[in-house]
Amino acid sequence: MKNERKDYDAVVVGAGPNGLAATITLQQAGLSVLLIEAKETIGGGMRTAELTLPGFKHDVCSAIHPMAVMSPFFKTLPLHDFGLEWIQPTNAAAHPFDDGSAAVLTRSLETTAQLLNSDKEVYQKVFGKLVKQWKSIQHDVLGPLHFPEAPISFADFGLKALLPATQFAKRFQTEKAKGLWAGITAHSVQPLDRLTTSAIGLVLTIAAHAEGWPIPKGGSQVIADAMTSYFLSLGGKIEIGTPISSLKQLPSARAVLFDVSPKQLLQIAGHDFSSIYKSQLSKYRYGMGVFKIDWALDDAIPFTAAECRQAGTVHIGNTLTEIAANEKATWHGSHPDKPFVLLAQQSLFDTSRAPEGKHVAWAYCHVPNGSTKDMTTAIENQVERFAPGFKERIIGRHTFNTSQLEQYNANYIGGDVIGGATDIGQLFTRPALRYSPYRTSTKGIYICSASTPPGGGVHGMCGYHAASRVLKDLF
C-alpha cells in the first residue's frame, strides 16, 4: 500500500476505527485523501493475531461490537460487500454468581426482564422506553454537545445517564438485576459511584435489545479490512509502516486529522498550537488501564451456569457491592485479589477462531493507569471461581500489561484503551473545552480519535464528526 507522495485535500494520521471513518467520510465527499498508519497493519484496536499457538486467532483489543452495529455511521457503509459478517451469540452477555446462578442479557427485552423475576416490570418500563426512543436520540448521544434533535427524549435519557450506576441500581430489588447492571456499567472504566457511569450501561443495554452484541466472523481485523477495502474502492490512498513524529513529515494538505491521543498530538504538533490549547491538552486525564489475557483452550470454558456457556460476553465479579468496591479500589491505585473481569468467548460461535474442537478466550481486568503488575493469577482465579476446571483447559496463554499495550498501540496511554477518562468533566469537553472539540487551535489541524466525543468504542463516530467538521470548515 506504499503510495508516492503528492499533495492531498486531506491527510489522516492513524488507521484505527476513527481514522478509517474520517478517511471514508472525506473520500465519499469527493476529496483526495491519504491515510497514514505507523504499523504494518491497518486497524488500531481492530486487529486479530495468532498470539498463543498456530491456528488460534485472538482479538488483540476489541472483541465484541455492540457499538459498531449501533453506529449511525457504520450503518451507512456497505461493509458486507467487503467481507464483514456479523455473528450473534445466543446470549449477548451473562453474569454468574457464587450460588451457581447467572443473570443474562438477551436480544429479547421481554425475555431478559422475565428472567429478572420481581424486577421484570421496572426493567421493561425503563429499557422498553429507551429502546423505542433510541432512533430519535442516537445522533445526540453519539456526538458532540449540541441542541438535541429530540429534546424531550434526550432529556429523559440524559437524566438517567448522569446518575452514578450505584444510584441507578437502587430501582432494582434483586441481586441478580443489580449484578447484571454492575457488569454492564463497569465498561465505563470508573468507580460505579461516580456521575455518568450509568451512561455506558444504558447505551450497551439498549444495544443488546436493538441490535445485539455481535462478533465479526474471523476476528476484529475483518472490520478494519472491510473498511480499508471500501476506502480504497472509493479511490483513497494508504501508506503503512510510517510513524509520524512531526508535521514536517506530512505531504501538503488543506486538512490534517489525527487519530491519536492528546499526548501524542502535543508531541507531533504542539509547537503550532496556542499556549491555551497546549495547556488544555496537557491537562487531559487518562483513566484506568487494563491487564489483558488471551487463552488457547483444549475445550470450552466449563462455566457452572448454563447461561454463561451460551454467551459471547461474560462479566465476572459476583454482586454489585463486590464489583463496585473492587473498581473503586483499582481507581485509587490498588490491585484487588478478585478484580472485575470482562471475558469474551468468540470461538463458541465462530469456529474459524480455533482448530477443530479447540477454543479461544479473551479477558481483561482494570488496573491502575501505568501498572505493570502481573494479574494473570487473579484473573484466572476469578474465572475458575465460576468455572471449576477452567485452568486445566489452558494450553496457551498471552498477556499484555499496560506498558506492553501502549507499546503495541501508542493511543493506549498507561493502558487506557478507551482514549481517556469519560467522567463528567470529560464526557463532552474532550479533549478540550472548545466550540468544536475536533478543531485544534491551528487552522487545518484536527483531532478525530476516541479522545473526542462520543469517546471509546468501535463506532467510527469520532472520525465521522471530525471529518464533517473539516468539510464544513474548509470545503
DSSP string, 107-162: S-HHHHHHTTGGGHHHHHHHHHHHHHHHHHHHHHHTSSS---SSHHHHHHHHHHHT
Q: Do 464 and 75 touch, CB atoms closer than 8 A?
A: no
pTM of the model: 0.96
- Give 364's strand partners: 292, 342
Short-list 36, 45, 424, 420, CA closest to 223? 45
Domain ranges in the chain?
8-47+60-84+216-285+419-474
**What pLDDT score was predicted for residue 386?**
98
Q: Do 186 and 317 touch, CB atoms closer than 8 A?
A: yes
Domain 8-47+60-84+216-285+419-474 classification at class level: alpha beta
**What pLDDT score was predicted for residue 1?**
45
How far, in Å, CA of 138 to CA of 207, rounded? 11
Short-list 63, 62, 115, CA closest to 89? 63
- CA distances (Å), 466 to each of 12, 189, 249, 337, 443, in order? 11, 25, 22, 41, 14
Which parts of the chain register pLDDT below 70? 1-6
Cis before 72? omega within 30: no
What phi and psi values does residue 7 have, to the nearest 5 degrees?
-75, 145
Tell me 251's DSSP state: P
- Location of C-alpha cell 494520521: 13
How far, in Å, CA of 221 to CA of 102, rounded? 31
**What pLDDT score was predicted for residue 473?**
97
Tell me 247's DSSP state: G
**Which 3 state secondary structure label does DSSP give 323?**
helix
Neighbouring CB atoms inside 10 A of 49's CB total: 15
Q: What is the distance of C-alpha 108 from the center of its chain?
A: 23
How far, in Å, CA of 435 to CA of 11, rounded? 23
How far, in Å, CA of 133 to CA of 454, rounded? 18
How far, in Å, CA of 394 to CA of 384, rounded? 11
Using left for φ > 0, alpha for ψ between -120 and 50, and beta otherwise, residue 37 falls in beta
- CA distances (Å), 240 to each of 36, 56, 165, 243, 382, in order? 6, 25, 42, 8, 40
Helical (H) or strand (E) element with 327: helix 320-331
**What pLDDT score was predicted for residue 427?**
82
**What pLDDT score was predicted for residue 145?**
87
